A = this chain, B = another copy of it.
Amino acid sequence: MARKLIKYSLMIPGPTPIPTRVLSAMNHDMIGHRGPLFSAVMKEVMEGLRWAYETKNDIFIYPSSGTGGMEVAVVNMFSPQDKVIVLNIGNFGARFVKICKAYGVEVNDVKFERGKPADPKVLEAELKKGPVKAVLMQQNETSTGVLNDVEALAKTVRANQPEALIIVDAVSGMMAAPLKTDEWDLDVVVSGSQKAFMVPPGVSAVSISKRAWKAYENSKCSKHYWDLGLMKEEAPKGHTYTTPPESLIFGMREGLAMLKEEGKENVYARHQHNRDLVRAACRALGLNLLADDSHASPAVTAIFAPDGLDGEKIRAMMRDEFNVEVAPGQSELKGKIFRIGHLGYIDSLDIIGAFAALEVLLKRMGAKTNFGAGVKAAMELL
């Protein structure tokens, strides 16, 4: 008789597993969203977000997925025919291109090879070609597992076009890797609840600098739901323009409290350690990694399927045989890679477990891997 596991392991780059403390915090009665009780909750969440973002800027919370936050940045900063540079290192860079084009913004789509970060020298050359309204980038590209050097890219923008807006999609990177909104002079930074905050999907947060507020005043893109001006009117009262997703905001309060208790440096170190374990295990098994060590994401790792094997088949077997859910390759990488998410509520022993499953399956599939070597390599780093 086949032995079936009873536990499910979610190892995709968001949503991540949710701590019981966060689930319990969300198990909360609804309260009046325009009353003082809820305002106090919102105030705590705002303080927590400013701590995470390292900013004194305004932050607004939208009931939306992370993509909604990306759209907030575009429709509030730009007008049709504005020229912008998108540093496109993967699917979410491509999404920024898509959103800009949907609103008539002229995009210089600066593509980098999948698995590589954006190169500041290439950005510099593009900036020298003429003025742009903004440079848009991912902090962490979820589709390839690549961490951009946001600090270096931001410095390159400031050195060449001091007043260009710097817009960062930090949805999968926020709290997995350092991001210093004020020190790096980032104008708009977008995050999402379902990543390192360890909260279910449905909340997006967006920070807005003084420079960004000036751009907002001149922006002519059509908007209503995403309109920052409507949010700004309500913010002093601790309200949002539309009805806030209360249960998720109770969750954000708890997730942020847990991250504060763990300590920011420990949170970053945990994510780096998770990344290092995954990479060591892969190397010991002879599995190729899409990203180099120098820019490998602490949130998610993209792994090539061994020669002759389909990444989608590996993924299906991980789920069917061991209840371990890993993520697929996207677009041109579909089937060639699979991705292990290690951000949010994930610990090193979760990674050991996932590799135990992966090694057993690769052996069954006839892959030439040194059985046990992956788990052992990861164990040596514990």
Contact = CB atoms under 8 A, between A and B. Distances in A.
A4 to B, nearest CB: 15
Interface stretch (A45-53, A127-135, A219-227, A278-286): A219-227
A343 to B, nearest CB: 13
Nearest to A100: B224
Contacts of A8: 29, 31
Interface string A196-224: 00001110000000000000000001111
Interface stretch (A59-67, A253-261, A351-359, A374-382): A59-67
A180 interface: no
Contact of A248 (B28, B66, B202, B225): B202
Interface string A1-34: 0000000101010111110000110111111111
What is the interface of chain A mostly: helix, strand, loop, or mixed? Answer: loop
A81 interface: no
Interface in A182-203: 192, 194, 200-202
Interface residues of A, number: 55
Interface stretch (A143-151, A239-247, A295-303): A239-247
Stoichiometry, as copies per complex, reads 2
B221 A222 contact: yes
A71 interface: yes
A66 B245 CA distance: 11
A103 interface: yes
A27 B327 CA distance: 23
B17 A325 contact: no
A238 interface: no
Q: Which of A24, A31, A34, A63 has the most CB of B within 10 A?
A: A63
Interface string A64-98: 11111001000000000000000000000000001
Given A201-B244, A248-B248, 4 more contacts: A23-B28, A24-B27, A66-B243, A98-B224
Interface of A: 8, 10, 12, 14-18, 23-24, 26-35, 63-68, 71, 98-99, 102-104, 192, 194, 200-202, 221-225, 227, 241-248, 319, 325, 327-328
